[in-house]
Amino acid sequence: MTITEKILAAHAGKKEAAAGELINAKVDLILANDITAPIAIQEFKKTGAKDVFDKERIALIPDHFAPQKDIKAAEQCKMLRDFSKEYNLGLYFEVGRMGIEHALLPEQGIVVPGDLIIGADSHTCTYGALGAFATGVGSTDVAAAMATGECWFKVPESMKFIYYGKLNKWVGGKDLILHTIGDIGVDGALYRAIEFEGEVIQNLLMYGRLTMCNMAIEAGGKNGIIVPDGITENYVKGRAKRPYKFYTSDADAKYVEIREYDCSKIPLTVSCPHLPSNTKPAKELAHITIDQAVVGSCTNGRLEDLREAAQVIKGRKVNPNVRMIVIPATQQIYKDAMKEGLLDIFIDAEAVVSTPTCGPCLGGHMGILAKGERAIATTNRNFVGRMGHPESEVYLSNPAVAAASAVLGRIGVPEELGL
């Protein structure tokens, strides 16, 4: 069996699980945010359940329109707070204690290897980086799971992606996943488990792995997953709030497709509007001027991402025609970036630093685009109107390219700044 099949079988109380099989499985954690939880809460109340299945296994995190941007957002966030109080939930994260959900939960050791996690947010697949099965579900599935502690699944077929060779300078997890989505398309892994492996993955630090698994959904994947190893152990040791288990894939496990990538041939990569799969080498886009650069989100808002952007922008200024917005993904990342002097670097460069929030990624707040404006962002989606006006454009990149572009006033690479 593959790692995905093993985790699903274990949580369904079965010896084995095969692709295509329908199972009912126990979940280790359920999460929802200020956009998706209100619907789940309403549906939960309709079930007639007297209580939630486990007060320590439901995480409610206001991060999309929080800090509350308007009255409607405030009402949504209040529903989360009231429900958490009513049922005495242990994993409610108020503004000031919160962060972007998919950065916060691994950081706090709330998701661990071997878990089965469902979240009413498509980027729940991020936690596969820890060797967990994690997938996004609808709000009604969350409501049912809050009552029963279970969810049904069709066991996905698995695809394997093998990355070998030497990474080029500044190329990281974001470039690997953008290149992969560019290769297979946004439906190239529809309802499949995407297993990342190879020497490059084995040497990729956790932040790069989290970025890759985060965007499995952009290829249509049911989940993205990496077999846990020493890097996983170093990350979870000392932070895991629960016992964890390392699963692995058997040598004779079945994959519907195996693809290999020579990473020495993967350049700094940018996704052009209006699909994550519309990728081009960053160097070919020097003619694209930008109005905004965003570094942050559940894809690239971790400390290492901020370090990368700061390294590029240090001692330079954001182009006068550009606004640059930097959003640390959690309060802890914000504090660590402050201690390291990264925030000074950004502010001295005339970028603005925001409190942790999903913000502009989903056209929420803190950086909405006007008609005709273009942004380069370290976010995960660039659909029509994703960051604001339907006639605006979003280009996706890694933090180094976003920072270099902020300085140049157009899409560019660190090399152009002598880096």
Measuring CA to CA, which residue among 323, 396, 296 is closest to residue 411?
Answer: 396
Coil vs helix vs strand at 224: strand
Contact 73, 116 (CB under 8 A): no
What CA–CA distance (Å, rounded) separates 395 from 137?
27
The pTM of the whole model exceeds 0.85: yes
Whose structure tokens read 């140049």? 408
Dump pLDDT digits (tens) for 100-149.
Answer: 999 999 999 999 999 999 999 999 999 999 999 999 999 999 999 999 99
Torsion of CA 315, 318, 319, 325, to 10 degrees: 170
Dump pLDDT digits (tens) for 248-269.
Answer: 999 999 999 999 999 999 999 9
CATH code for the part of the protein at 268-417:
3.30.499.10
- List all residues 6 or more positions away from 327 whose beta carbon is below 8 Å from its beta carbon: 294, 295, 296, 297, 301, 353, 354, 355, 356, 357, 359, 366
CATH fold of 3-260 reads Aconitase; domain 3 (3.30.499)
Query: What would the DSSP string read from start to end of 144-177?
Result: HHHHHSEEEEEPPEEEEEEEES-PPTT--HHHHH
Measuring CA to CA, which residue among 181, 394, 398, 405 is closest to residue 273?
Answer: 394
CATH 3.30.499.10 range(s) for the chain read 3-260, 268-417
Dump pLDDT digits (tens) for 282-332.
Answer: 999 999 999 999 999 999 999 999 999 999 999 999 999 999 999 999 999
Contact 125, 223 (CB under 8 A): yes
- List all residues 6 or more positions away from 352 whose beta carbon is below 8 Å from its beta carbon: 323, 324, 325, 326, 346
